[in-house]
Structure 1
């Protein structure tokens, strides 16, 4: 069985390849996935299908080259923290964005049961604004 930090590392590797199936491979059917208020996909999504449709599909549709660059992982056992940066160009405005982000993962029995994102939503919103 993979360690919790290896599961998160594998998610990020699959994300870099755009492989949704592999990204969701170790996600619980009841996962509670929270995107920060003010973020384009804000809300708490329950289940891998809801996450794929309301987060990853939206980011892929609305952003050009949207990606997360991992800088470090902090191993807290059942809780893993991924630190890095978001990058992308908002399709509707053509504006680039880069924002620091922290992801807090909660894993139990080899499955992601919760995820919470913390990022500078102002930088994201500025890229989305026509002003």
Structure 2
């Protein structure tokens, strides 16, 4: 495994522990984080503060026991890493649970995460919110 895949594994391990600081530890200052169109938090967030507030803060505040579990990490070339896994959680406002597959595409450069892009079934996520 490469340094890039080790960095991404560390991100998911921090997520499993509920360690937000650990999750963003290797993020570049100008990291770009893209949530898929149709996802409740869709858009591209630039910089750690925007990601903390616009993505992680909302997930933590609106969902009970939200998890993003990476089941497979695929080590690519030139700092590309792909994670296959699933989201799970219960939307607090409705009490409805979901479990949805995801693909996360990461880009690491010089030991820092510079880009993230999410692919998931947004309809299944939104169904748990209604």
The two structures have a TM-score, normalised by structure 1, of 0.95
For 1:23 and 1:69, locate their aligned partners in 2 and report how far apart those are by CA, in whole Å: 13
- 2:25 matches 1:25: yes
For 2:72 and 2:18, locate their aligned partners in 1 and report how far apart those are by CA, in whole Å: 20
Over residues 55-85 of structure 1, what are the superposed CA-to-partner deviations in whole Å (9 max), with x where a residue is unaligned?
0000000000000111100000311000000
Structure 2 match to 1:9: 9
Structure 1 match to 2:104: 103
Number of residue pairs matched by the alignment: 128
Give the RMSD, CA atoms, in angstroms. Answer: 0.9
- Look up the SS of the partner of 2:86 in the other structure: strand
Structure 1 match to 2:48: 48
For 2:60 and 2:40, locate their aligned partners in 1 and report how far apart those are by CA, in whole Å: 12
| Gaps in structure 2 of 5+ consecutive residues | none
For 2:41 and 2:111, locate their aligned partners in 1 and report how far apart those are by CA, in whole Å: 26
- Look up the SS of the partner of 2:21 in the other structure: helix
Structure 2 match to 1:121: 122
Structure 1 segments, 4+ long, off by >3 Å, are none
Over residues 57-114 of structure 1, what are the superposed CA-to-partner deviations in whole Å (9 max), with x where a residue is unaligned?
0000000000011110000031100000000000011001010000000010000000
Correspondences of 1:46-85 after superposition (within 5 Å): 46-77=46-77, 78-85=79-86
For 1:3 and 1:42, locate their aligned partners in 2 and report how far apart those are by CA, in whole Å: 29
